[in-house]
């Protein structure tokens, strides 16, 4: 049976742990607000790019581009957005599980796909599983900037344009609310897929004039739009990461409180037992005299 001193040491230890988890929750909540604001502020730019591309691709001129057209698939690319740090609950494990399920469903060998990884945690797990990784980025800041992801985004898009693979999927945690973060997969390339088809019925009320030509503008905008979607996915992922960490730290704090309560009860019982034994010894000694 643990002594009162041992129990007191455990209580102090869990009190310190609770202070750390409570502070980490507050930091995550602060970052979450900033990440949400950043994600929301980036949407108008992506929406305007999308509007122009739709106007070009579905207008009377019918401008075509390889990034808008599906082709026979012999190899597939995947870009997954994970975190650099732990203590985020099931944030990474749920996302990696989704990726492995998709790989198992679609491919018979590792020669049929390649993976780009954002985040140290995802990189470590996928390297252990010997997944073919051809691009990686780690050390993303808590409030990411476009410059931090632009290289891997350009690499993924240029590999598709060069024919290294025939379609590109984006996997990240979609931020629903501070409690719910949902791992999702979206086809990024070709853009003739989900991203633009769902807007076929919409017609832009804006009239555009293009210089030097519609083909030239589309060739310039399409890679930027794809890179913007990757950046937006990173922002969604970061918001989800901070929310997941906030929830994980809140649960850890609650667990610490529960354990401290049990240990305090055990300490009080041990103290009462010691007091009772001491009184019994005093009474026994007095009776002997």
What domain range includes position 266?
4-26+248-288
Clarify whether residues 193 and 99 are in a common domain.
yes
> Are residue 130 and residue 205 in the same domain, yes or no?
yes
- Output DSSP code: residue 176: -
Q: Between these two residues, 2 and 169, which has the higher pLDDT value?
A: 169
Confidence of residue 279 (pLDDT cuts 50, 70, 90): confident
75-91 mean pLDDT: 93
Same domain, 13 and 59: no
234 pLDDT band, cuts 50/70/90, is very high
pTM, full prediction? 0.83
pLDDT value at 51 more than 90: no
C-alpha span between 220 and 147 (Å, rounded): 18
Is there a single domain that holds both residue 158 and residue 280?
no
**Mean pLDDT, residues 73-92 taken together:** 92
More confident residue, 54 or 119: 119
232 and 252 both lie in a single domain? no
Distance CA 53, CA 225 (A): 9
User: What mean pLDDT, rounded, does the chain reach?
Assistant: 86
Q: Which CATH number goes with the domain that contains 119?
A: 3.40.1380.10
Q: Do 71 and 211 share a structural domain? A: yes
């Amino acid at each position: 049976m643990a002594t009162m001193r041992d129990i007191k040491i455990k209580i102090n230890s869990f009190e310190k742990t609770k202070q750390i988890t409570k502070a980490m929750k507050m930091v995550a909540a602060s970052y979450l607000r900033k990440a949400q604001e950043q994600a929301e502020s980036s949407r108008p730019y992506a929406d305007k790019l999308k509007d122009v591309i739709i106007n070009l691709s579905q207008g009377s001129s019918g401008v075509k581009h390889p990034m808008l057209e599906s082709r026979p698939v012999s190899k597939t690319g995947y870009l997954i957005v994970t975190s650099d740090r732990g203590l985020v609950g099931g944030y990474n494990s749920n996302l990696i599980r989704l990726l492995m399920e998709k790989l198992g469903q679609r491919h018979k060998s590792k020669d049929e796909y390649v993976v780009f990884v954002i985040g140290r945690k995802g990189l470590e797990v996928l390297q252990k599983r010997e997944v073919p990784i051809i691009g990686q980025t780690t050390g993303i800041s808590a409030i990411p900037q476009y410059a931090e992801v632009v290289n891997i985004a350009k690499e993924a898009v240029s590999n598709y344009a060069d024919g290294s693979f025939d379609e590109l999927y984006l996997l990240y945690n979609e931020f629903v609310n501070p409690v719910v973060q949902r791992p999702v997969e979206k086809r990024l390339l070709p853009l003739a897929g989900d991203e633009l088809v769902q807007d076929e019925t919409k017609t832009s009320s804006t009239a555009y004039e293009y210089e030097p030509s519609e083909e030239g503008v589309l060739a310039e905008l399409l890679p930027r739009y794809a890179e913007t979607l990757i950046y937006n996915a990173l922002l969604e992922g970061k918001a989800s990461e901070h929310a997941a960490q906030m929830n994980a730290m809140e649960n850890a704090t609650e667990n610490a409180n529960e354990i401290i309560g049990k240990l305090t009860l055990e300490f009080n019982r041990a103290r009462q037992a010691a007091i009772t034994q001491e009184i019994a010894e005093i009474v026994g000694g007095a009776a002997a005299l």
